[in-house]
Amino acid sequence: MKIRNVKVPEGINVSRHRPVADLFVLTAGAIGLFATLGLLALLIGSYGGRYLPMSWENALAAAVFEVGETDEEVTTNNREIETALQAIADRLSANMDLPEDLRITVHYLDEDEINAFATLGGHVFVYRGLIARVADENALAMIMAHEIAHAANRDVAANVGGVLLLQLVLGTVVGASPETVDGLIWGPNALLLRQFSRDAETRADRDGLTAVATTYGHVAGADRFFRILLNELGESVPDEGPEFLNTHPLTVKRIADLGALARKRGWTLDGPATPLPRVLTALDPAD
């Protein structure tokens, strides 16, 4: 009798499958899973950041940056500018609903940029380029009130909380670097986040305008910053792209919204322009 090895049967140890279909299904599943996880981290982080005790935010801000204190370049002139800006901020914040421990500190940045921003711990930064381009205090006050409103609404803390938790989660789960996470957040794919950001901006515009109306008794000139922005962009209606791609509402829309809010609340659109403090009028954008 002749003995032979049994022919190895096929299809038992190696099962039939469709690898390409598998790849698509699994990739879609993985992207969906990580996106859900990331969104959840962002939402929880934002929520946590917004409701973090103000004293914690202040402590964090103090740890992250010792603003101005050690900066040797702060000249006497800059101090005078900051004092003038601080006075405006103090008048505005007196008419705003600030958290108990929040103290607004204004800093001056000697750069030609038409911008201002708020960071952790109520630190508001105003650029020379912005001050040099506004004709009166009312326009400047609107922007500062907008930034103070961001601090008061805890938008910065919410933002930082969300981003930190997202970086932690995505870094742990998929080993994504913080830079990649930043790219994901501000990249063109994060449309939902841009909606959140626009909502926060709209709220800050509304609260800012309310503060301006209460402080000055009218809202004349409050939309002037946005008009300056429009002119600076060189066209009456600049191309900012579709709104859903922007972190801020479209400038034209913001002007219209401010006007609509003023009419709705019965705030007068005419009123005397408050001149800028002398130290601020001396600023030149071209310096």
From candidates 187, 217, 272, 275, binder to another protein by CB under 8 A: 187
Residue 22 makes contact with another protein by CB under 8 A = yes
Torsion from C-alpha of 162, 163, 165, 168, nearest 10 degrees: 170
Tell me whether residue 80 or residue 182 sits nearer to another protein (CB atom).
Answer: 182
Handedness of CA 31, 37, 40, 46 (dihedral sign): negative
Tell me whether residue 47 or residue 186 sits nearer to another protein (CB atom).
Answer: 186
Residue 180 makes contact with another protein by CB under 8 A = yes
From candidates 9, 19, 242, 266, binder to another protein by CB under 8 A: 19
Residue 232 makes contact with another protein by CB under 8 A = no
Tokens of 171: 């870094």
Shortest Cβ distance from residue 27 to another protein (Å)? 6
**CA 130 and chain centroid, separation:** 17
Is 152 within 8 Å of 207 (Cβ atoms)?
yes
Q: Which stretch binds another protein (CB under 8 A): 24-32, 223-231, 259-267, 279-287?
A: 24-32
Instruction: Specify burial of residue 140 (Cβ count, 10 A radius: 0-12, 13-18, 19+).
Output: buried
From candidates 2, 266, 278, 286, binder to another protein by CB under 8 A: 2
**Whats the size of the chain, residue-wise?**
287
Q: Which of 159, 39, 57, 140 is nearest to 98 (CA)?
A: 57
Furthest-apart CA pair in the chain: how many Å? Answer: 116
Q: Which stretch binds another protein (CB under 8 A): 80-88, 179-187, 246-254, 257-265?
A: 179-187
Tell me whether residue 34 or residue 65 sits nearer to another protein (CB atom).
Answer: 34
Is 165 within 8 Å of 132 (Cβ atoms)?
no
DSSP-derived 3-state class of residue 116: strand
Residue 32 makes contact with another protein by CB under 8 A = no
Is 222 within 8 Å of 212 (Cβ atoms)?
yes
Q: Which stretch binds another protein (CB under 8 A): 3-11, 108-116, 123-131, 266-274?
A: 3-11
From candidates 9, 13, 72, 100, binder to another protein by CB under 8 A: 13
**Non-local CB neighbours of 43 within 8 Å, separated by 6+ positions:** 162
Shortest Cβ distance from residue 166 to another protein (Å)? 17
Tell me whether residue 33 or residue 59 sits nearer to another protein (CB atom).
Answer: 33
Binding site for another protein (CB under 8 A): 2-5, 7-8, 13-15, 17, 19-20, 22-23, 26-27, 29-30, 33, 179-180, 183, 187
